[in-house]
A and B are shown apart, each in its own frame.
Chain A
Amino acid sequence: MITLVKQETFKLLHKKSTYAVSATLLILMTLFAVLSRSHPKYWGQPQDQFVQLFTGINWIVLFMIAACSSIIAMEFQYGTIKELLYRKYYRGEILVSKWITMLLYSIYFYVVAFVWSLLMKVVLFNDKFQLSDKYSGGHTVMETQWLGIVGSFLTIWLVLSLVLLLANIFKSTAAAISIGIIGYFALNIVSSIMFVLMQKWEWLKWNPLNMMNLSNQLVSSSFHKMTLLSTPEMIAGSLVYTAIFMAISYVIFKRRSV
């Protein structure tokens, strides 16, 4: 298994896009940090920007959706799937090695964005706010950032498990990326309708889109009036949905003829 993860990492590290994406993330974060310093009225208060990693969290979602769909779909696109499969390894191992690689990749993104956000804070905003300042719901700025990171990590993986499944079904990078991205951003549009419907039919609170509000709820506990779920219920729900999507991918991948 370690060999397989190493091989997946080897491929990832030899793609130019891997480096381009990391650089883009840092550039975008810097850009939003600078804008927030010069025009906080339009581009958000420094603390607000800091807790969401200077928009880094949103970019990480996009980049991870692209990475997850391509790590599966590229093998079908390039015809390399056969080469991967007719070796001594089991099919399940091949798929799991890809998941592990993506998990490591997502952790890498968060670490980079976190470190960069601290750097931005020190360089640009040392005079504006302190990490120990009270932010919202009794949490400090630092705590809020951490809760946001944990929440978004869980929701991102809920989305990614679905993207990994779609890439497996459609064997096409484009389809998996577009559905993943549209799905992620459609949440903001449909959530208001969803909340109304949930008032009427309470069981709808268990739908996967509702789980995506986890970060919001972690930061402000009053959010559970909207989601109708307690925080532990949401965490469990996200994990269960992620596990379900992963399990379906696993079964499909094992049965597929290539």
Chain B
Amino acid sequence: MTDAILNVEHLNKNFGRKQVLKDVSFSVQTGHIVGLVGPNGAGKSTIMKAVLGLFNYSSGKITIDGELVSPTSHKAMDKVGALIEYPGIYPFLTGYQHLQLFSKESTSKDQIMDIVDKMKMDSYINRKAKTYSLGMKQKLGIALALVDRPKFVILDEPMNGLDPQANKDLRKIILDLAKQGTTFLISSHILSELEKLVDDLVVIDKGQIVYTQSMAELESGSKKLLVLKTSDDAKAKDVLSQNGYQLDDGDKLSIIETEQTKMADVIKLLSDNGVDIEDVQHVHSDLETSLLNLLKNDKVKES
């Protein structure tokens, strides 16, 4: 699939004098789950709010499914479900009444109960929302975003306040919906959770896009390490580098793995040189490491 449901082109946004978004451009492919990540205050929520037509931007263009989005042009919002920052909840309404209130008239009772069921909210859906815990409110917020079965769903920190089981349930719901063609734009700080979900990644720092790639590419671009513990690390380092192995910087003895790296060769080489191997570990750098590296390099580039 090559058609994009969301296109953001050269988006600029100022809050007073401070420029919070600088020439932001990215697109979200239909049916993909896209992660929007970045440090606190990088502009994630700002981007999401702009995409939802919640405020004016100084320049740029946002289209959803080909339709322009701005505070005065909201037609495309009919296809969008969203949860931004924290769920807005009326304390005097029950969970079910919220879903009734915000769902379209075309959304049936069965559809409402379906999402209640999937989110496992049955036991408290008819209780007033003022009695809800943080996690329950969060679930209701997610249910509100999904109840109309929109084509495009925007979730800002959806895992906030959810327990591990609810997290797992949510992941399943998102993956199932994505399989059926729903597109997701999700921001999260919990990178290990995001890693299990997203197809593509948009990384933002200080209001600028620093990286947009698929997860697969990010993973393949990262280093795989073979971490060794030996009787004499210093000697082992010398021997290995003399024999053409690339070593990673740092205190630990770690070989950067390539296609040719064979464990047996390493063991043989070291034992031939009188170094005993005490422990071996394969280390893949995860999303967190890759991301932190990315942001670190980006800052170097900027200065």
A and B part of one assembly: yes
Q: Which residues of A contact B101 (CB under 8 A)?
A: 7, 10-11
Which of A15, A79, A87 is the one whose CB lies under 8 Å from B86?
A: A79
Complex: chain A residue closest to B77, CB-CB: A88
Which of B55, B74, B75, B90 is the one whose CB lies under 8 Å from A80?
A: B90
Rounded to whole angstroms, the CA-CA distance of A7 and B99 in the bound complex is 12
Rounded to whole angstroms, the CA-CA distance of A3 and B105 in the bound complex is 9
Q: Which residues of A contact B71 (CB under 8 A)?
A: 91, 254
Compute the total of residue contacts between A and B using a CB distance below 8 Å: 68
Please determine whether B90 and A11 come into contact, CB atoms closer than 8 angstroms.
Answer: yes
Q: Which residues of B contact A79 (CB under 8 A)?
A: 85-89
Which of B53, B56, B86, B105 is the one whose CB lies under 8 Å from A86?
A: B53
Quote the shortest CB–CB distance from B187 to chain A (angstroms): 15
Please determine whether A90 and B74 come into contact, CB atoms closer than 8 angstroms.
Answer: yes
Q: Which residues of A contact B77 (CB under 8 A)?
A: 86-88
Complex: chain B residue closest to A91, CB-CB: B71
B116 in the interface, Cβ–Cβ < 8 Å?
no
Please determine whether B80 and A86 come into contact, CB atoms closer than 8 angstroms.
Answer: yes
Q: Which residues of B contact A3 (CB under 8 A)?
A: 105
A200 in the interface, Cβ–Cβ < 8 Å?
no
Q: Which residues of B contact A74 (CB under 8 A)?
A: 90
> Given known contacts A78-B88, A86-B80, A90-B72, is B54 in contact with A11 (CB within 8 Å)?
no
Give the contacts of A67-82 with B (CB-CB under 8 A): 74-75, 78-82
Q: Which residues of B contact A87 (CB under 8 A)?
A: 74, 77-78
Complex: chain A residue closest to B56, CB-CB: A257
Please determine whether A82 and B92 come into contact, CB atoms closer than 8 angstroms.
Answer: no
Please determine whether B80 and A80 come into contact, CB atoms closer than 8 angstroms.
Answer: no
Complex: chain A residue closest to B87, CB-CB: A79
Complex: chain A residue closest to B105, CB-CB: A3
Rounded to whole angstroms, the CA-CA distance of A80 and B89 in the bound complex is 6
A89 in the interface, Cβ–Cβ < 8 Å?
yes
Please determine whether B91 and A78 come into contact, CB atoms closer than 8 angstroms.
Answer: yes
Which size class do B's interface residues fall under? 20 to 34
Quote the shortest CB–CB distance from A83 to chain B (angstroms): 5
Quote the shortest CB–CB distance from B137 to chain A (angstroms): 10
Please determine whether B93 and A14 come into contact, CB atoms closer than 8 angstroms.
Answer: yes
Cβ contacts B54-84/A at 8 Å (1 or 0 each): 1110000000000000011011111010101
Quote the shortest CB–CB distance from B21 to chain A (angstroms): 13
Rounded to whole angstroms, the CA-CA distance of A91 and B101 in the bound complex is 18
Rounded to whole angstroms, the CA-CA distance of A75 and B91 in the bound complex is 11
Please determine whether A85 and B90 come into contact, CB atoms closer than 8 angstroms.
Answer: no
Complex: chain B residue closest to A92, CB-CB: B72
Please determine whether A82 and B88 come into contact, CB atoms closer than 8 angstroms.
Answer: yes
A193 in the interface, Cβ–Cβ < 8 Å?
no
Complex: chain A residue closest to B80, CB-CB: A86
Complex: chain B residue closest to A17, CB-CB: B92
Which of A14, A75, A78, A257 is the one whose CB lies under 8 Å from B54?
A: A257
Give the contacts of A1-58 with B (CB-CB under 8 A): 3, 7, 10-11, 14-16
Please determine whether A85 and B54 come into contact, CB atoms closer than 8 angstroms.
Answer: yes
Quote the shortest CB–CB distance from B132 to chain A (angstroms): 13
Please determine whether A83 and B80 come into contact, CB atoms closer than 8 angstroms.
Answer: no
Rounded to whole angstroms, the CA-CA distance of A91 and B77 in the bound complex is 13
B185 in the interface, Cβ–Cβ < 8 Å?
no
Q: Which residues of A contact B82 (CB under 8 A)?
A: 86
A251 in the interface, Cβ–Cβ < 8 Å?
no
Which of A7, A15, A86, A89 is the one whose CB lies under 8 Å from B92?
A: A15
Central interface residue in A14, A78, A86, by most chain B CB within 10 Å: A86
A196 in the interface, Cβ–Cβ < 8 Å?
no
A258 in the interface, Cβ–Cβ < 8 Å?
yes
Quote the shortest CB–CB distance from B57 to chain A (angstroms): 11
Quote the shortest CB–CB distance from A102 to chain B (angstroms): 17
Rounded to whole angstroms, the CA-CA distance of A75 and B97 in the bound complex is 16
Which of A15, A75, A82, A257 is the one whose CB lies under 8 Å from B84?
A: A82
- Residues of chain B touching chain A, judged by Cβ–Cβ distance below 8 Å, are 49, 52-56, 71-72, 74-78, 80, 82, 84-93, 97, 100-102, 105, 144
- Residues of chain A touching chain B, judged by Cβ–Cβ distance below 8 Å, are 3, 7, 10-11, 14-16, 74-75, 78-83, 85-91, 254, 257-258
Closest 6 CB pairs of A and B: A80-B88, A79-B88, A86-B52, A88-B78, A257-B55, A83-B88
30 A-B Cβ contacts within 8 A? A7-B101, A10-B97, A10-B101, A11-B90, A11-B93, A14-B97, A74-B90, A79-B85, A79-B86, A79-B88, A79-B89, A82-B49, A82-B54, A82-B88, A83-B102, A83-B144, A85-B52, A85-B54, A86-B53, A87-B78, A88-B75, A89-B74, A90-B72, A91-B71, A91-B72, A254-B71, A257-B54, A257-B56, A258-B54, A258-B55
